[in-house]
């Protein structure tokens, strides 16, 4: 309700007359869609740990992973071999497989027996043969912004595919990115009811690394092409507005040669996720996978289990010419209030601070991001692949 006064006369005008009628809309979603089993797994031709994840779908209003523990998970191949997986984290199961058991042309399927006695199983997916990852590179490109007079210069990544020979016609690329970033200040003073000075200043939490997958899905089919070759397939972009390029940035690009069935699934995921917010921000309610509930066929099982030949390569970037760095480090010093330390509650301890050298005796409080890079989600443990020098 809006109150309007004209010459001492007060009118009460409903907001609906000013802005129109706006009604909230909550879509009706089958409650069963919020409690479905989700099984995902990949068998590659690389000797090592092969993994399967079992979870339940979550409410669309608050999407999250709900792991399912205590399952008996087995992988079968079409040669009569059975591989039993062990749970190593909640809802995550793994088994070490030798190179001799991971050959292109072999078909694999998974079976999951839940604690509730339900059997979930996939169809067989045949591992395709794939070439070595050809090359990944970037071009500096200017992308438009909301201001028609201003463009944003980015590193646009591309990949070339050279699969001449008896290789798959279906591909997917996964990208894992890692970068180093710094907190701007060492911890030198803090207050926890008493002022403390740290001698020497503690710089142990100033350097962090963060690793995360690029959210977009990248798939390609060359079936319609005369040759199994493709140049300049577009991958992701980065620019100087985040801390990624501030010190050292790396991407691990993994190329997967898929079966046609696996490609069709991931192509639908690409259409769904790339256009609507990213793979890890939504669940594939509308996409049919290759799993069934053998105990209760009427219950849908989400996800996909597949096999693929893999080739990967890591790339490092530092001081990229042509990219201007303009990112915020989230450190915002502020003044102590008029009541001094009485304004600080015990649950806020420790509160870090420093003395502004440009203003005699001026004390400035520091938010945690100023002295502890972990506050932004990273870790102070250096990755084992990190070089000694950029």
- Per-residue model confidence (pLDDT) at position 360: 63
What average pLDDT score do residues 51-71 get?
87
31-126 has CATH 2.60.40 classification? yes
C-alpha distances (whole Å) from 232 to each of 9, 106, 220, 289, 315 are 69, 31, 12, 30, 17
- Per-residue model confidence (pLDDT) at position 12: 44
Predicted confidence (pLDDT) per residue in 359-382, tens digit: 666 899 999 999 999 999 999 999
- Per-residue model confidence (pLDDT) at position 323: 94
pLDDT at 115 over 90: yes
Give the mean pLDDT of the chain: 89
Query: For 9-13, 26-30, 86-90, 334-338, which range has the lowest pLDDT when averaged over its residues?
Result: 9-13
Query: For 31-40, 161-170, 229-238, 310-319, which range has the lowest pLDDT when averaged over its residues?
Result: 31-40
- Per-residue model confidence (pLDDT) at position 60: 67
Residue 118, burial from CB neighbour count under 10 angstroms (0-12, 13-18, 19+): middle
Higher pLDDT, 255 or 336: 255
- Per-residue model confidence (pLDDT) at position 280: 47
- Per-residue model confidence (pLDDT) at position 3: 40
pTM for this predicted structure: 0.84
pLDDT at 108 over 90: yes
Share of the chain above pLDDT 90, in %: 77
Residue 21 has which token pair?
A: 């009628």
- Per-residue model confidence (pLDDT) at position 237: 96
pLDDT at 30 over 60: no
Predicted confidence (pLDDT) per residue in 175-216, tens digit: 999 999 999 999 999 999 999 999 999 999 999 999 999 999
Predicted confidence (pLDDT) per residue in 239-298, tens digit: 999 999 999 999 999 999 999 999 999 999 999 876 554 444 444 446 889 999 999 999
Which band of pLDDT confidence, cut at 50, 70 and 90, is reported for residue 299?
Answer: very high
Predicted confidence (pLDDT) per residue in 223-234, tens digit: 999 999 999 999
Query: For 3-17, 42-56, 120-134, which range has the lowest pLDDT when averaged over its residues?
Result: 3-17
């Amino acid at each position: 309700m809006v109150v309007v006064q004209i010459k001492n006369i007060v009118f009460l005008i409903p907001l609906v007359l000013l802005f129109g009628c706006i009604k909230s809309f909550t879509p009706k979603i089958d409650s069963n869609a919020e409690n479905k089993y989700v099984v995902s797994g990949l068998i590659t031709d690389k000797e090592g740990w092969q993994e399967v994840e079992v979870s339940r779908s979550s409410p669309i209003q608050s999407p999250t992973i709900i792991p399912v523990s205590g399952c008996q998970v087995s992988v079968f191949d079409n040669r009569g071999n059975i591989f039993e997986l062990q749970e190593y984290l909640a809802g995550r199961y793994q088994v070490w497989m030798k190179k001799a058991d991971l050959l292109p042309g072999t078909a694999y399927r998974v079976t999951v027996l839940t604690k509730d006695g339900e059997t979930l199983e996939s169809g067989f997916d045949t591992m395709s043969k794939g070439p070595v990852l050809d090359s990944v590179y970037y071009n500096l490109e200017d992308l438009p912004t909301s201001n028609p007079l201003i463009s944003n210069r980015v590193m646009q990544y591309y990949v070339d595919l050279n699969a001449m020979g008896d290789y798959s016609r279906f591909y997917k690329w996964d990208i894992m990115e890692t970068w180093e970033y710094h907190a701007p200040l060492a911890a030198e003073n803090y207050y926890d009811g008493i002022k403390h000075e740290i001698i020497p200043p503690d710089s142990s939490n100033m350097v962090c690394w963060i690793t995360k997958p690029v959210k977009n899905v990248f798939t390609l089919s060359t079936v319609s092409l005369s040759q199994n070759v493709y140049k300049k397939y577009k991958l992701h972009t980065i620019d100087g507005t985040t801390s990624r390029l501030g010190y050292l940035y790396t991407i691990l690009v993994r190329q997967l040669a898929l079966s046609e069935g696996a490609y069709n699934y991931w192509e639908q995921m690409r259409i769904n996720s790339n256009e609507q917010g990213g793979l890890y921000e939504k669940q594939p309610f509308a996409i049919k996978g290759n799993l069934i509930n053998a105990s209760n066929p009427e219950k849908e099982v989400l996800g996909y289990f597949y096999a693929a030949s893999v080739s990967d390569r890591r790339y490092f970037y530092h001081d990229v010419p042509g990219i201007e760095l303009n990112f915020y480090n989230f450190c915002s010093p502020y003044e102590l209030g008029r009541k001094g330390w009485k304004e600080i509650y015990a649950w806020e301890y420790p509160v870090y601070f420093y003395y502004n050298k440009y203003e005699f005796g001026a004390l400035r409080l520091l938010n945690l991001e100023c002295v502890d890079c972990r506050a932004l989600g990273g870790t102070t443990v250096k990755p084992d692949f990190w070089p000694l020098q950029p």
